[in-house]
Amino acid sequence: MPSAPAPTPATEVRRDGAAPRKPARRFDPHRFGPVIGLVLLLIAGTALNPDFATWDNLMNVLTRTAFIGIISIGMCFVIISGGIDLSVGSMAALIAGAMILLMNALAGSVASPVAVVGLGMLFALLLGGGFGLAHGYLVTRGRIEPFIVTLGTLGIFRAVLTWLADGGAITLDNDLSDAYGPVYYGSLLGIPVPVWVFLVVSVAGAVLLNRTAFGRYVQAIGSNEQVARFAAVDVDRVKLLTYGLLGVCVGIATVLYVPRLGSASPTTGLLWELEAIAAVIVGGTSFKGGEGRIAGTVIGAVLLSVISNILNLTSIISVYLNAAVQGCVIIAVAFLQRRRP
Amino acid sequence: MAATVALGCALGGVAFAADTVKLGVSIPAATHGFTGGIVWWANQAKAELEKAHPNLKITVKTASGAPEQANQLQDLVTVTKIDSLVIFPFESAALTQPVLQAKKKNVYVTVVDRGLTDPSAQDAYIAGDNTAFGRIPAEYIAKKYNGKANIVALRGIPTTLDNERWEAFTGVLKQYPDIKILDGKYANWNRDDAFKVTQDFLTRFKDIDVVWAADDDMAFGVLKAIEQAKRTDIKEVFGGAGSKTMVKTIMDGSNPLIHADVSYSPKFIYDAIKMTAEARLKGDKLPATHIIPSALITKENAKEFYFPDSPY
């Protein structure tokens, strides 16, 4: 029995020490579970439909993954620190609705559509960060379980959006739609803009988690909050910042999402929270906190989109069973990357 | 003594014109475009009918799930003391018993759209025509494309209602051997899902004539995906339900892919409330079943289906 908690501090020490990194680079089979799962899926997809492996299809899949992927990276920090955020889907919907309303209102007084869109984007990031910090504040100062705080705001955000939209859809003005369109539909060097943004956020997330004091604190708090407190880590501030960071990630995702359909409705972002959490967990991050990986999270998010893409490109399985196939793949990948006790 | 007299009056009121009618309206909360329309039309009916009939009192309750709706129903009967009820059940099976309990307490019950599993729990049933919702676009497509077309279809959420529409649609097209339904996938009556499913259809099929989006919200996502892929083979996108933006598009002819739609307006809740209230005020009964017909909306008649103030 006493042997159970022992490995945690051991791995902790190893990760924290910057110098003795090399010995840790042994091949670790369960660490590659998500990669193995993704490769198997890619092979299966190509075998089932030759159009699967085309550049256009792969770019479609990566572009649509960008929203969930960016949110998952923020979610990864929150989960590693031992928290959770159930509200991200509703938050994205409310930010989308609010920014469209703001841009439509500004369109009357500000002449340049590009300036209006820029202001709208800035507003989305600020609003996201603000919502995130509010969560963090309620969790740390308010001492309420993150599950409860975000369960509450999940309802609040979506209800406010539904109220703003009068139950229907909030739609962006046509002129603004044209100016904003390239943010989703445009591409740079043949790669769509959302994929670039996804890449930048991923790299920034990985650097922040693995190469900065903040990243180490996040992992230390998730591993053992009391020990981190004794080690003079400002636990409340770090936790507050993880929620703020996630909020900004939701803001970025929304900025990319709005030009896709140019509208927000009460079904926008439905169940995104579960997709984001699934991506993080499938990617090998421990649900209990303490450790996790950004690269794994990115692969997890891509993997989830690839499953539904393959199901859409084939018709061998009854459409009623789509969710069952997705569930099986998620469990299989989690099995591949499971930890030995 | 007074209580006995009051009870006698209340019972007598079923046969004769009622002095006052307390009507309860129980509907799903506005969580997407269509239910948003339901809520708006219900409130519209309340405002108009209460103004026209001073002795009519309408209470509108919205629920976000079957258990919540059952609780509200109980409150309407015991606290608000309604004598008539118009209910759009969240789920058929789950609401049957609660509605039956209300009817046993002499509440006159009109059920709208989603039926109950036991029809004896209702006095009247008013619904949109789901078979026509699938049949009309199929007949329209078959006629317009002379019995030869490649079609991809988007379905809603797996439900009996969706099956009814799908069977009607495919049933008509079976008679045309040159019309191929390449595939049908669920897009959950959701714009985002419709966008993704359409992207994948476009990757998979190189030659598509018509997309049956089966819903105006989904048609919106379909149009965006086609625009992004710059496909020119697709001649038409057929939505469904007659949302105001779609009807306006048909009126103006502003989108070359949109030519027609089929009506399935949330306005039927308005009709149901009006019919029930007016019949009850007169002491009449409604016909047991009343189907609000679905109609083909084209440029010629679009004006009749355009309600600019409704959110849907």
* pLDDT tens-digit map of B281-312: 988 888 889 988 889 999 999 999 998 888 88
B221 Cβ under 8 Å from any chain A Cβ: yes
B163 at A interface, C-beta within 8 A: no
- Residue found by looking up tokens 């803009």 in the block: A193
Best residue in A162, A177, A258, A271 to probe B by mutation, most B CBs within 10 Å? Answer: A162
Structure confidence at residue B153 (pLDDT): 96
pLDDT per residue as tens digits for the range B218-266: 999 999 999 999 999 999 999 998 889 999 999 999 999 999 999 988 8
With CA atoms as reference, the chain A residue closest to B194 would be A261
Report the C-alpha gap between B253 and B255 in whole angstroms: 6
pLDDT at B7: 44
Position B309 scores a pLDDT of 86
What whole-number percentage of chain A has pLDDT above 90? 60
What pLDDT digit, counting tens, does each position of B1-26 carry?
444 444 444 444 444 556 789 999 99
Interface test with A, best of B62, B192, B226 (most A CBs within 10 A): B192
Distance from CA of A27 to the nearest CA of B (A): 37
Owner of token pair 């209460």: B50
**Per-residue pLDDT tens over the stretch A277-335:** 999 999 988 888 888 899 999 999 999 999 989 988 888 777 778 888 888 888 888 88
Q: What is the pLDDT of residues B80-109, one digit of tens each?
A: 899 999 999 888 888 888 898 899 889 999
Q: Is the pLDDT of residue A11 over 60?
A: no
Residue A137 predicted with pLDDT over 90: yes
Structure tokens at A308: 């539904």
Q: What is the pLDDT of residue B18?
A: 63
Q: What's the token pair of residue B260? A: 């027609």
**So what's the pLDDT on residue A167?**
79
Strand partners, B152: B183, B211
A166/B221 CB distance under 8 A: no
Pairwise CB contact (< 8 Å): B33 & A265: yes
- Alpha carbon of A170: minimum distance to chain B alpha carbons (Å): 10
- The β-bridge relationship of strands B149-155 and B236-238 is unpaired
Contact (CB<8Å) A266/B36:
yes
- Contact call for A60 and B200, based on CB within 8 A: yes
B66 vs B47: CA distance, rounded Å? 26
CB count in 10 Å sphere of residue B51 = 9
Return the H-helix or E-strand segment holding A44. helix A33-48
Q: What is the dihedral of CA A83, A86, A88, A93, to 10 degrees?
A: -160
Of A260, A266, A270, the CB nearest to B224: A260
Is the CATH code 2.40.50 the one for domain A53-339? no
Asked if pLDDT for residue A3 goes beyond 80, the answer is no
Compute the nearest-CA separation of A257 from chain B (Å): 10
Query: Between chain A and chain B, how many beta carbons pairs sit less than 8 Å apart?
Result: 95
- Residue A263 with chain B: CB contacts under 8 Å: 191, 220
3-state secondary structure of A112: coil
Mean pLDDT, chain B, integer: 89
Contacts with B55 (C-beta within 8 Å, 6 or more apart), sequence order: B18, B19, B20, B21, B281
Count CB-CB contacts under 10 A for residue A339.
Answer: 10
Q: Please, what is the angle between helix A193-211 and helix A294-313, to 10°?
A: 150
What does the pLDDT read at residue B93?
A: 83
Q: Name every chain A residue with its beta carbon within 8 A of the beta carbon of B184.
A: 319
Q: What is the 3-state secondary structure (H, E, C) of A119-132?
A: HHHHHHHHHHHHHH
Q: Which residues of B touch A60 (CB under 8 A)?
A: 199-200, 203
Q: Which residues of A touch B196 (CB under 8 A)?
A: 64, 308-309, 312
> Which tokens hold the place of A321?
């069973």
Across chain B, which distance is largest between two alpha carbons, in Å? 80
Helix (H) or strand (E) holding B185, with range, is strand B179-186
Domain boundaries, chain A: 53-339
- Find the helix or strand (DSSP H, E) in which B184 lies: strand B179-186
CB B149 within 8 A of CB B179: yes
Tokens of A128: 């996201």
Strand order from edge to edge, sheet including B124-128: B56-63, B21-28, B84-87, B108-112, B124-128, B289-292
Taking all residues of chain A, what is their mean pLDDT, rounded to a whole number?
Answer: 87
Interface test with A, best of B31, B202, B312 (most A CBs within 10 A): B31
Q: Tokens 């039309």, residue?
A: B41
Nearest chain A residue (CA) to B36: A167
Q: How confident is the model at residue A29 (pLDDT cuts 50, 70, 90)?
A: low
> What are the chain B neighbours of A267 within 8 Å (beta carbons)?
31-32, 189-192, 217
What does the pLDDT read at residue B159?
Answer: 79
In a 13 Å sphere around the CA of B308, the CA atoms on its Cβ side amount to 4
**Smallest Cβ distance to A313: which of B33, B40, B203?**
B203
Both structure tokens of B34: 């269509």
Task: Tell me the pLDDT tens digit for each residue of A221-264.
Answer: 999 988 999 998 999 999 999 999 999 999 999 999 999 988 89
pTM for the model stands at 0.82
Q: Which residues of B touch A49 (CB under 8 A)?
A: 204
Q: In this predicted structure, which of A160-164, B133-137, B157-161, B303-307 has the lowest mean pLDDT?
A: B157-161
User: Which amino acid makes up residue B40?
Assistant: W
Strand, helix or coil for residue B183: strand
Buried b / exposed e along B197-221 (16+ C-beta atoms within 10 A): bbbbbbbbbeebbbbbbbbbbbbbb
Q: What pLDDT, on a 0 to 100 scale, did the predictor assign at position A39?
A: 93
pLDDT, tens digit, 9 for 90 and up, residues A39-79: 999 999 999 988 899 998 999 999 999 999 999 999 999 99
Tell me what the mean pLDDT of segment A99-104 comes to.
Answer: 94
